[in-house]
Amino acid sequence: MKKFGLIGHPIAHSLSPALFKAGYDGRYTYDLIEEESFEAAYSRFINEYDGINVTAPFKEQAFAKADILSEECRAIGAANILIKTPQGIKAHNSDYLGVRMWIQEVSGNDASQSVLVVGAGGAGKAAAAAAASLGMQTTIINRTMSKAAQWAENQGIYKYIIKPVKAFAEEFRRSDIVIYTLPVALPQISELDRSEIEGKKALLEANYKDPVLRGNGKLWLLYQAVTGYGLFTGEKPNLERMSDVI
């Protein structure tokens, strides 16, 4: 039987095992592989597992280990899935794949819609690349504009608009879709009425443990799990049962 797992530190709180069990009715093994050292966790993957999810703080190291990079990994420069293949270890990014799937659903595949991504860390880059890959105008707001601008220039695949944090409220109101990836609340959120936040139909947060806007952070976890688990097994997991876990 194929075996899968999650590496990171700390990960004892993770919902991933429960999601995986629900998605496949317990037909596959999925473990938490918690090690303080990436090399120790990676060694366990090589010796015992067919594929792994990767979470903080090991995503950059996982990216560097891959023999084969998926298209989305090349666009972002980060990986959160490693899978053994006959050709070597292949890297994927299910944050990108999950966000892309969510955007397609909420937008009805309307490429004329505009997307605001707040934050330019790993999750923000994945979200921005997902939106841009669908042909949507994509604006990135980051606390350090130069960091976002440098990444946007260096990745060389998609075009982005970079704005300062002071433009947050204006861009929030203007954009059709908002994806918030920062772990803390920007002070500029206070410029919005609560009704404006509640009324935003297409709003996604990356932080499912402590969301700062509308409390829908678990959607991110669900969509990246659905896309990532499918890469592991070649089988589509049961979204309804996974939603019940969330």
Instruction: Compute mean pLDDT per 10 residues along the chain, 246 residues long, and list them.
Output: 94 93 96 95 97 90 96 90 98 96 96 97 93 98 95 91 98 98 95 95 91 87 95 95 93
Q: Where are the beta strands (DSSP E) in the chain?
A: 3-8, 29-34, 51-54, 68-69, 81-85, 88-92, 114-118, 137-141, 161-163, 177-180, 202-205
Residue 224 tokens read as 């990246």
Q: Report pLDDT for 216.
A: 80
Residue 90 tokens read as 């292949």
Instruction: Look at the pTM and tell me if it is higher than 0.75.
Output: yes
β-pair partners for 6:
32, 53
Q: Report pLDDT for 1.
A: 85
Q: Is 81 exposed, middle or buried (0-12, 13-18, 19+ CB in 10 A)?
A: buried
Q: Report pLDDT for 110.
A: 96
Q: Is 102 exposed, middle or buried (0-12, 13-18, 19+ CB in 10 A)?
A: buried
Torsions phi, psi for 231 (to 5 deg): -65, -40
Per residue, the 3-state secondary structure of 188-202, as one string, reads HHHHCCHHHHHHCCE
Residue 202 tokens read as 């297409």
β-pair partners for 3:
29
Q: Report pLDDT for 77.
A: 86
Domains, the chain, ranges and CATH? 3-93+220-245 (3.40.50.10860), 96-216 (3.40.50.720)
How far is residue 55 from each of residues 72, 179, 210, measured CA to CA in Å? 17, 19, 17
Q: Which of 2, 3, 21, 59 is catalytic?
A: 59
Q: How far apart are CA 219 and CA 215, in angstroms?
A: 9
For β-strands 3-8 and 51-54, DSSP reports them as parallel
Q: Report pLDDT for 201.
A: 92
The question of whether 59 is a catalytic residue gets the answer yes
